[in-house]
Amino acid sequence: MVQSKREIEKLSLTTKNIAIMASGSGTNAQAIMDACENKEINGIVKIIISNNSKAYVLTRGERKGIKTLVEQDFIKMEELLKSLDIDLIVLAGYLKILPLEFIRSFENKIINIHPSLLPAFCGKDYYGQRVHKAAIDRGVKYSGATTHFVNEIPDGGPIIFQKVVEVKEDDDFESLGKRILEQEHPLLVKTLKYFCEDRLKVEGLKVSLKEEKCER
């Protein structure tokens, strides 16, 4: 079978080693693992880390045969991630701020997903359902989800992609949160797909997409 130039280029890309950090049930982590398995993402999940020993995300990883770890000293975790040749760390519902030294060690290699349209409803006090409660209380007409690179400012790194979700008049924080979560999964998969194809270019606080080379 004759392969196109783009197919050959994809085959030549190095498969990225991914670490997932999460605090809860891990639905976003599941979406990532599934997308890696079906080759939608050119990556492999090497480890799942949680700051919560009872988090169901650890069970999801174990069922896939993926190494799991309950968060420990960040210096030791950095050493472990580097020993695993991790190319990308994904914060998939990770409810904790990373140490500055850790962030600097993986500059432009840590991606977070936040359940609002940044820069709205963000920062160290905005996580989980708090974000949706704030959006409802403020009376915004639209909310959504954002993927971004992580820097020293909580939720302040370069924005990659965003997905808009309408806020309905009868929404409460639970119904809004549920609809946003449904959009988080494909948004995160899309983001990781582009990262693992080396198509995200970061310049300051802006992220642009490198053009896809087409067959001639």
What are the residue numbers of the active site? Answer: 114
Nearest Cα to Cα of residue 180 among 193, 206, 162:
162
Cis peptide before 115 (omega within 30 of 0): no
Rounded CA Rg of the chain: 17
CA pair distance 126, 116, nearest whole angstrom: 10
The phi and psi torsions of 100 (rounded to 5 degrees) equal: -60, -40
Does residue 144 contact residue 179 with C-beta atoms inside 8 Å? no
CB atoms inside a 10 Å sphere around CB 8: 10
Give the type of residue at 103. I
User: How is residue 10 written in tokens?
Assistant: 């994809």
In the three-class reduction of DSSP (H, G, I as helix; E, B as strand; rest coil), residue 155 is classed as coil
